[in-house]
Amino acid sequence: MTPDEKRWMTRAGNFAQGLVQGELAYTFQKGHPGVTTMWIGALGYAFAFPEFPYVTPGQLGTTDTSPEDFFATQGQDPLQVLAAGRTVAVLVNVLVVGLALALAARFLLLPILAPPYIAIGLLLVALDPFHMAHSRLLHTDALLASFGFLTVIAYLCAGQSRSPQRLLILSGVAAGFTWLTKTPGLFLIPFVGLLQLAHFTWRWRNQKGALSFGYTAWRELVRPLLLWFGVAVITYVACWPAMWVAPLQTLGKVFSLSQEYAEEGHSSSMYFMGQLRWGDPGFSFYPLSYLWRTTPFVLVGLVLAVGYMIYALRFTMLRPHAAHVYDLRSPNRSRRNDASPDPSSPHPTSSFLLPSLLGFALLYLLLMNLGAKKFDRYLLPAYPPLALVAGVGWAALVARVTAFMAPTQRKHDAQGDGGTLSVDGDKRRVGKLALLVIFGLIGMVQLTPLVSTFPYYLSYYDPIMGGAKAAPNVMQIGWGEGADAAARWLVQQANAEGADASTLKVATAYTNGPFSYFFPGESLPIYFW
């Protein structure tokens, strides 16, 4: 359990109470706004404590013991409610990311990668330890990353479809949920605008200026944006009852908290780069936190992807119609300078996918650096796109190695009758071997941290940077990991000595759930004296 989950569990209960009692203004609890998290938590209450909104005396506090006191009077265990909410959160994250990966495979990766290669990127996203650690929490950051990832992927897929309306609507719905989760999701508005402008520019360039800037510009540039934005706004309002009764006040509170976080920073000191720091820890915080929280396989894949993108851009900048250099389905295919796409078709995903995903991650990093309050988890929306890019980088390497290692065709066969020796079988064998090696590395590098840190996935740090042993020398670590084990150990010691653990008093940094929810005695703050 993390310290923030007690707050979100309480907010979710207040949210449910406001819904049931018709006090819709209470569906605003905090300016994050965390609405998706509260809906998920409310479902947890519905499964584990369905009577809660009917028997609660009113809105409970998030910083006092009123939730625990109320649960005790009802004979309920708050951990059961949290477990139910976490289960729903896991299911939502899995479904959203799974849908995004399915769309990416169908519309974005299949045109440039053979099906076995596609699995590399999908596995890197699905097995990212940092995203997986947060996706099992009743919190906002993993949901922000998951819905944001689906928004971008669905919008990119719409650019690949001749009937993009459904994908635009899906992207708009996901964007609305992203905004409902956390205000940094509003970054999607300018970013999607940039994507649409790039798509229109490509169409205009390949039709050699045939597109005018009149009605055609409206149809090609503005109308998709209006559809996407309209669906997102409708989703935002429809799924947040507080917007039905007090829209201006609700939005004012949301933007007020965002401004506070951006300007004031941390209310207490944080440890970074060997020093205690107050306020903004500096521009280097997020790049370094990413290096510490990602995996070696993803880092190497990103280097490969950037190198391959530079190699491909060398051709596309000089030859606008040479986007097929990105095509990895057939590495030895002929490079025809006169090959050109149908100008009426959507933009080629091959030359658009990697820059779009890298651009999203880099621009989001710059946006988050504008805020004074920084945590490593705030950069989480950049992780799935970068993992997918890394997967394409590894796929490019496998494809090129397969082409390089395939034996050269001979003009005569063994009998010398003038026939040629087919090397398709050799290529397939080399390709399968390379894929097996890559999948083995994925299993070793991606699954090892998940197994070794179970069930405290947040304790993973990149071994390239020094791992969990070196991390405490560089950054602030710990978000409740192991506090439950400490509580259980104290109870075992008390039982072994014949003492009643409920009479004990223990000073702890986690009086707000991670320790106190597992310890039957009294949990005191560490500054109790």
Quick: pLDDT tens for 198-256. 888 877 666 655 555 566 667 778 899 999 999 999 999 999 999 999 999 999 999 98
Cα separation of 148 and 169, whole Å? 14
Residues of the chain with pLDDT > 70: what percent?
Answer: 83
Within 10 angstroms of residue 62's Cβ, the number of other Cβ atoms is 18
- The stretch 472-495 carries a mean pLDDT of 92
For residue 366 the two structure tokens come to: 């710059």
Burial of 505: CB neighbours in 10 Å, binned 0-12, 13-18, 19+: exposed
User: Pick the residue with more confidence: 159 or 49?
Assistant: 49
What confidence tier does 430 reach under pLDDT thresholds 50, 70, 90? low
- Model pLDDT, residue 511: 86
Model confidence at 496: pLDDT above 60:
yes
Average pLDDT estimate for 137-142? 98
What average pLDDT does this structure show over 403-415? 48
Helix (H, G, I), strand (E, B) or coil at 497: coil
Residue labelled with tokens 């995996």: 295
Residues 6+ apart with CB under 8 A from 286: 365, 368, 369, 374, 376, 378, 379
HSE, CB side, 13 Å, CA atoms: give it for residue 381.
Answer: 35
Least confident of 238-242, 354-358, 444-448: 444-448
Q: What is residue 320's predicted lDDT score, i.e. its pLDDT?
A: 47
**Mean pLDDT across the stretch 177-192?**
97
Among the residues of 319-379, which ranges form H helices? 353-369
Which residues make Cβ contacts (< 8 Å) with residue 273, sequence separation at least 6?
A: 281, 284, 288, 474, 475
The pLDDT value given to residue 277? 83
At a CB cut-off of 8 Å and minimum separation 6, what does 271 contact? 277, 475, 476
User: Is the confidence at residue 415, as pLDDT, over 50?
Assistant: no
Closest CA to 35 of 258, 245, 237, 247: 237
Classify 272 as helix, strand or coil. strand
Report the chain's C-alpha Rg in angstroms: 26
Is 405's pLDDT higher than 80? no
Rounded to the nearest angstrom, the gap between the alpha carbon of residue 293 and the centroid of all alpha carbons in its chain is 13
Please compute the mean of the pLDDT values over residues 353-363 and round it to a whole number: 95
